[in-house]
Structure 1
């Protein structure tokens, strides 16, 4: 299992395509060059001003090293102003532990579920009945964020999975996502 960030950006109206073009052209390879595995990148199908993406790291120590290398490196320095100009909020980030997720090529739509179970044992029973390996189940990573320049949402205990499943009996956020093909 890897350390995974699920990042949801709220963008300035009409700026999503500009960010996606910049992201795909510069940031995917720039992050991969410093050891970051860039996973699925998505347009939120219910909000034209949201961009959702995942990236993963082998562990928390590797996360810190890779983030320091990327955000102090030439790719970010050259393009950060253009990227930041598209964003209203980039701090909606869940720090998770799981396999990461990239949709199969040609997948037109992905559903992501963010669930806040109130009981770990009851969730395990639910997952055993309704979620398989294809759902790429993730859970909150409770380690301290050791790269505070990039905030993460703290104090939450969530489970995140990809693909359709029987609705759980706990509060959820459902995301309908259109994969970006890079």
Structure 2
């Protein structure tokens, strides 16, 4: 396992109308370097293509103690102190956060030293499934039955995460109390993503077997994500 990502936060912020680009400018200019200086890995940050006021991002940690140390260092440190008021002014809700661990990380998932090239029109897409319990067999079903169909239709997962059942060791930032599985794939652009969706809709295995089983195994409807990486995102 890449030591940067044994623990992952998946965070989704609801922002004030029209303020997303303001937060992204702050984030890419100050918060990426500021957090990574404390030992975090900021793997990806995104505009949600379907929710204009949602900002989504992923950060990784070596382990749980490293998470506590890094979060304390950043949120009580000089970078957050200097820019927190401007960042908080863009937000309505920042508590939609999940504590996860990797099930699989493919070679396209960014390493610590991956570039932040900017300027591409790629799409990162996936879903969050809401599960009943950590021992429900969901991960095994996903790996054995869902991944083959996703891969065959052009969406081989780059990253698959599931909930890490552990106490939140930085209480100032709340976490959602639920069990999930989340996956992400990358596409060179919206046409490639749309073609994946067309093939998935035409797949009898997906429509008649896999999708109904996913619905039965979920405690509420899945969240689908279609994301555009910011200029400072490694995951693209």
Q: 156-165 or 61-70: which moved more? A: 156-165
8 Å CA contact 1:91–1:152 kept in 2: the answer is: yes
| 1:66 match: secondary structure | helix
Structure 2 length as normaliser, TM-score?
0.70
1:90 and 2:94 are equivalent in the alignment: yes
Q: What is the correspondence of 1:99-178 to structure 2 with a 5 Å cutoff?
A: 101-102=109-110, 106=120, 108-118=122-132, 120-121=136-137, 123-131=139-147, 134-154=157-177, 156-163=178-185, 166=206, 167=211, 168-169=214-215, 170=218, 171-178=221-228
In the TM superposition, what whole-angstrom CA distance separates every residue of 1:123-152 from its partner, at most 9, and x where no partner exists? 413322332774311000110001100000
> In the aligned structure 1, how far is the partner of 2:137 from the partner of 2:47?
34
Aligned to 1:22: 26
8 Å CA contact 1:117–1:123 kept in 2: the answer is: no
Q: What is the correspondence of 1:73-84 to structure 2 with a 5 Å cutoff?
A: 73-84=77-88
> In the aligned structure 2, how far is the partner of 1:162 from the partner of 1:135?
6
Aligned residue pair count:
181
Deviation at 1:83, TM superposition (A): 0.3
In the TM superposition, what whole-angstrom CA distance separates every residue of 1:102-135 from its partner, at most 9, and x where no partner exists? 5996452111210124473254133223327743
Structure number with the higher helix fraction is 2
Structure 2: stretches of 5+ with no match in the other structure: 149-155, 186-195, 201-205
RMSD between superposed Cα atoms in Å:
2.3
8 Å CA contact 2:157–2:183 kept in 1: the answer is: no
Moved over 6 A (4+): none
Deviation at 1:45, TM superposition (A): 0.4
Judged with a 3 Å threshold, the aligned counterparts in structure 2 of structure 1 residues 122 and 42 are, in CA distance, closer, same or farther, namely closer
Q: 120-129 or 135-144: which moved more? A: 120-129
Structure 1: stretches of 5+ with no match in the other structure: none
> In the aligned structure 1, how far is the partner of 2:138 from the partner of 2:82?
48
